Structure 1
Amino acid sequence: MAHPALKTVLNLFFKPECPLCGRPAETEFCRYCQTQLLRCQFPEGGEFPGDVPVFVWGRYGGALKRAIAALKYDGNPQIARQLGCWLADGWLGTQETLPKNLTVVPIPLHPDKLKKRGFNQAELLARGFCELTGLSLKPHGLERVRDTEALHGLSSAERQKNLQNALRVGKDRPPRPNSVLILDDIYTTGATVNAALRAFKTHRIPVAGVVALATTNTPPPRQRSRPKSH
């Protein structure tokens, strides 16, 4: 795998390679893989009920699963901007009006994992998200104070226990009276989101909702508003 700096130099002279298939790409992805990625999007919006509204852009599988792996593990942070913009575009489609005084806060990595990976994928997604929505970003609004084991393979109860007291409000806390929009890459059982909600509740910081790029869950049918009778 080429060093990121070498990739940048090579891209000045050659078309960059698609991180999913290696074909030449005009943008972050080749046309074929972009088409496959957009097919992962929930056609009617991925809205999930809960203590706060949860919006997820697409299904975690196929091209979207490969894209998230390419972002997190294969050294392709440049693709986060496009994925974040797609997430923003989908979320904006569910909003009748853009909420005011809303601050985006990404789910953080533990400092040890951040040092090893070199970036927080949720923060990079959030930057693309905020670029399109115009919302303010607090990349350190939360901090992870306890390193947790990988959630993959854990039950819902094990995930909740694993994340207990793992997150707290960070030095870059959202200003009052702003409310928070939590952003993460993958939403599954909601254990990570619940840990973030508890951290914000401790400081009486309201949370307006959650947005995530992918989920293995199936969203319920979207409730369509009924026409008013005259």
Structure 2
Amino acid sequence: MRRLGWHLRELTGLVLKTCCPLCQRSANQAFCLDCSRRLHRCQLAPAAQWQPGTLPVFAWGSYSGSLKRAIACLKYENNPQLARPLAHWLAQSWLSHSRPGRLTVVPIPIHVSKRKQRGFNQADLLAESFCEFSRLPLERQGLERSQATTAQFTLSAAEREQNLANAFTPGPAFRKKPPASPVLLLDDIYTTGATARSAAQTLRQHGIRVYGVAVVARTMSYLPNLERS
């Protein structure tokens, strides 16, 4: 029902003007024109979107300003319809880069208790729209969050790593049949990278190849230390 609700909200917005969740002004789209322009100012230059490493990271924008506000609005203010434009922008940038062949997109899960509280997993919604645009296959049940953990933003980098130790397990789809293609993890943000690394480590320990992680935004202060953070 929740998913049906946000789809209906999206369809209604095509007919009736709604309020932009960032500024409350009238808007025909998910964001008003001014806020959409501000969001695109947060977009990283093509050369900066791809960060190689043990776990390569592809990000559409910088986790700051209007983009940081938009992601908070999506997650904490019950605006699941915002996942669609954010994921489409991410997919457009992804397709503009030279990428390997077939990948299976797996959203990074949240614990079932948090999902019940929020009503949705933002990574699921982002992955759905990302795959709709990119035409990559989506596997929602590739990973499970097996442990409820402390909110990451309250912890130091070292504490985040410990907090997420053994937090994930392969989901029922991969337990039944591991994917033939490498996995592209997908999430909303990348800060220290602890969540993405824990998810990737879980899959790799079970013989599943992980190509990297794609996110809407990443925290720029961690870029020089991706391997150590």
Partner in structure 1 of residue 57 of structure 2: 54
In structure 1, list runs of 5 or more residues that go unmatched. 222-230
CA offsets per residue over residues 123-158 of structure 1, 9 Å max, x none?
111111111110000112111010011111312111
Which aligned pairs between 1:118-133 and structure 2 lie closer than 5 A?
118-133=119-134
Aligned to 2:135: 134
- The answer to whether the Cα contact below 8 Å between 1:47 and 1:219 also exists between their aligned partners in 2 is no
> 1:54 deviation in Å?
0.9
> Does the CA contact (< 8 Å) of 1:48 and 1:219 recur in 2?
no
Counterpart-to-counterpart distance in 2, 1:70 and 1:189: 21
1:199: Cα distance to partner? 0.9
Would you say the 8 A contact 1:46–1:219 is kept in 2?
A: no
Q: Please state which structure has a larger fraction of its residues in helix.
A: 2
- Residue 227 of structure 2 corresponds to none
1:104 aligns with 2:110: no
1:35 pairs with one of 34, 37, 47: 37
Structure 2, unaligned runs of 5 or more: 225-229
Deviation, 1:5, is 9.6
Q: Does 1:150 align with 2:154?
A: no
1:190 is matched with 193
Residue 206 and residue 8 in structure 1: after superposition, are their counterparts in 2 closer, same or farther (change >3 A)?
closer
Pair 1:76 & 2:75 matched:
no
How many residues align? The count is: 217
**Distance change (3 Å), C-alpha of 1:41 and 1:5:** closer
Shift of the alpha carbon at 1:8?
6.9
- Give % identity: 50
If you compute each CA radius of gyration, which structure gives the higher value, 1 or 2? 1
**Equivalent position of 1:117 in the other structure:** 118
- In 2, distance between residues paired with 1:103 and 1:113? 25
TM-score (norm 2): 0.87
Give me the whole-angstrom Cα distance separating, in 2, the residues matched to 1:12 and 1:129: 20
Look up the match of 1:14. 16
TM-aligned CA deviation for residue 10 of structure 1: 7.0
SS at match of 2:189: strand
Task: Output the amino acid matched with 2:41.
Answer: R
Question: What is the alpha-carbon root mean square deviation over aligned residues?
Answer: 2.3
SS state of the match for residue 28, structure 2? Answer: coil
Q: Residue type matched to 2:156 in 1?
A: S
1:177/1:62 CA distance change after superposition, 3 Å? same
